[in-house]
Structure 1
Amino acid sequence: MDRFHEVTAFIAVVEAGGFSAAARRTGESQSAISKAIGALERRLGVALFNRSTRSVTLTDQGQRYYDRTRPLVDEMDDADSEMTSSTLAVSGSIRIAAASTFGRLHVLPLIPGLLSRYPGLQVDLVLSDFVRNMVDDRIDLAIRVGQVNEPDAVVKRVAGTPLVCVGSRRYFEQRGIPSTPADLVHHNCLLYGGLEESADWPFVGPEGRFSVTVRGNLSSNSVETIRAGVLAGVGIGLFAKVSLSDELQHPDVITVLDEFISDVRDVSLVWPKRRFVPERVRRVTEFFASSLPSRL
């Protein structure tokens, strides 16, 4: 059996999550996929998958084999793509990660245009406020808001977004509007990050940068939760402006302390550092690099 077919069948099973799903993705029969995997395992002398009636998962040897072969197949795809300029040649699966709120507001609306331009793509959009490990989670492209600390990644800044401090009109009617950052110590400040009892919010004044330690009765690792808390009148939140979108036009939402806020968070495209970047990753990166700034 063709060794390349064995490897591509193996990768299809890993990324589709099962034999039947891999068959649907590749257009082959499930028996053909099973035969290819069986031949590969016999040739290597190891079991690549743990099989049960409910799931198919990689063995340790299977994970190592996937980590080694996936980049090789990507390089072959890239070599093929270089031989043609047709957008139809940009095909295959691409896994994109973004923070939940930012992804919902700014990435998801761009996906139809991306798929219209490159109909051969299969997009897996992972939305989570947890920063994904790009290698372990097989992320091809991440869109990050804020500082990126990944030495084994390529980072391309495409835009910036300022911080804004906001609360609802009903909250300020009960507690008053802070006139200086120091007033926040007397307010209920909602904390993004989860588990923390306090946070240091950054500000700037006549004498330079400073921070104020704030506290509140609601913290969360979800920006959506903090946004909902602000809209419900629970307290004050500090956000990257891109996370609020239409809320800033809401008649019940008020920004405060604008003159004391100067920090800007980068919006960046991040992809794993490797010798050859697959053509589909390069094209998708270029798409978001040109499409995102106009939304932000």
Structure 2
Amino acid sequence: MNRFHELTAFIAVAEAGGFSAAARRTGLAQPAVSKAVAALEKRLGVALFNRSTRRVMLTDHGRRYLDRTRSMIEELDDADNEMTKSSLQVSGPVRISAAATFGRLHVLPLIPELLALHPALDVDVVLSDLTRDMVEDRVDLAIRIGPVDEPDAVVRSVAGTPLVCVGARRYFHQHGMPQTPADLVNHNCLVYGGLREATDWPFVGPDGPFSVSVRGNLSSNSIETIRAGVLAGVGIGFFTEASLVEDLSTPDVVTILDAFVRGVRDVNLVWPKRRFVPVRVRHTTEFFARAIARRLRRDGRAATRASPLTTEGPR
């Protein structure tokens, strides 16, 4: 019995949760599936499943083996599909993850264009401010803002988005406007993440980079929450420009301390490191590389047209 047949049977049982279901999925007889898995376990010298009369569950060895082998089978299937189909046909599932706010503003609007270009794709979009484990969540392409601390990932920077310190006009009319970053200690600063590094806002002065420790009465692990607080006049926020493009083009939200805010965050396309990248993922990556860069350039120009606030200093 060949190793490919053993692996196919093992993965089918693991994903289907049983031998009968795996047989229906693969079109094989149940005894053939059982025989293939048994041969694989004998060759490896370990039990891959815990079997009972009611269910079949992976052992620790089985889970580790599944993580290593499933991508190999997927890559082989992709290679077969790429050779047997027209090079112009891009098809199959692509799972994309992005931060919630950036995804809402810059990824979702591009999905219709992607599907019009490649109608045979099956796109699954996951929006979350949590950094997802790409392998565990089976994410093909992640779109992330800022540094990527994953040594096993492939990272491609496609654009940059400036940092901005912002507030609503109603807040500044009531509390005054900070004239220097040091003035922020007297203001209600809304913090994304609630972590130590999130409360130290970065600035640049005549002597180089420095940070100001800020505090306020609202923190959250959701950019949308901090954004809503700023729009409601609760306090001041620190964002990437890409997260506020809709708001900065209106007169209600204005940037402050522009002379001291010079940071830029990279917009990165990230995918798990592997020997073979499926054609559907390559084409999807190329699409977003072009489309996001184009979109951020356009939205950045629109945001700069927002009028500044003229007011007195802090009272």
TM-score band, normalised by the shorter chain? 0.7 to 0.9
Residue type of the alignment partner of 1:190 = L
User: Gaps (5+ residues) in structure 1?
Assistant: none
Q: How many Å apart are 1:98 and its aligned residue?
A: 1.0
Equivalent residue number for residue 223 of structure 1: 223
Residue type of the alignment partner of 1:176 = G
Equivalent residue number for residue 73 of structure 1: 73
Q: How many Å apart are 1:73 and its aligned residue?
A: 2.1
Equivalent residue number for residue 189 of structure 1: 189
Q: CA RMSD in A?
A: 3.2
What are the within-5 Å matches in structure 2 for residues 41-56 of structure 1?
41-45=37-41, 46=47, 48=49
Residue type of the alignment partner of 1:87 = L
Equivalent residue number for residue 87 of structure 1: 88
Moved more, 225-234 or 76-85: 76-85
Equivalent residue number for residue 128 of structure 2: 128
1:19-53 per-position Cα deviation (integer Å, ceiling 9, x unaligned): 9xx99xxxx96695894865654444556589999
Q: How many Å apart are 1:136 and its aligned residue?
A: 2.7
Equivalent residue number for residue 287 of structure 2: 287
Residue type of the alignment partner of 1:244 = L
3-state SS of 2:265 partner: strand
CA distance in 1, matches of 2:288, 2:53: 39
The answer to whether the 8 A contact 1:198-1:215 is kept is no
Equivalent residue number for residue 213 of structure 2: 213
User: Gaps (5+ residues) in structure 2?
Assistant: 42-46, 297-315
CA distance in 1, matches of 2:176, 2:121: 52
CA distance in 2, matches of 1:57, 1:208: 57
1:264 aligns with 2:270: no
Equivalent residue number for residue 171 of structure 1: 171
Equivalent residue number for residue 140 of structure 2: 140
**Aligned pair count?**
287
CA distance in 2, matches of 1:286, 1:52: 49
The answer to whether the 8 A contact 1:197-1:215 is kept is no
Using a 3 Å threshold, how does the CA distance of structure 1 residues 51 and 110 change in structure 2: closer, same or farther? farther
TM-score (norm 2): 0.78
TM-score (norm 1): 0.83
CA distance in 2, matches of 1:184, 1:290: 38
Residue type of the alignment partner of 2:244 = L
3-state SS of 1:226 partner: helix
Give the greater-gyration-radius structure (CA): 2
The answer to whether the 8 A contact 1:195-1:219 is kept is no
Q: Identity across aligned pairs (percent)?
A: 64
The answer to whether the 8 A contact 1:158-1:268 is kept is yes
CA distance in 2, matches of 1:161, 1:83: 41
Moved more, 6-15 or 128-137: 6-15
CA distance in 1, matches of 2:114, 2:8: 25
CA distance in 2, matches of 1:59, 1:126: 29
CA distance in 1, matches of 2:153, 2:197: 32
Using a 3 Å threshold, how does the CA distance of structure 1 residues 206 and 105 change in structure 2: closer, same or farther? same
CA distance in 2, matches of 1:248, 1:119: 34
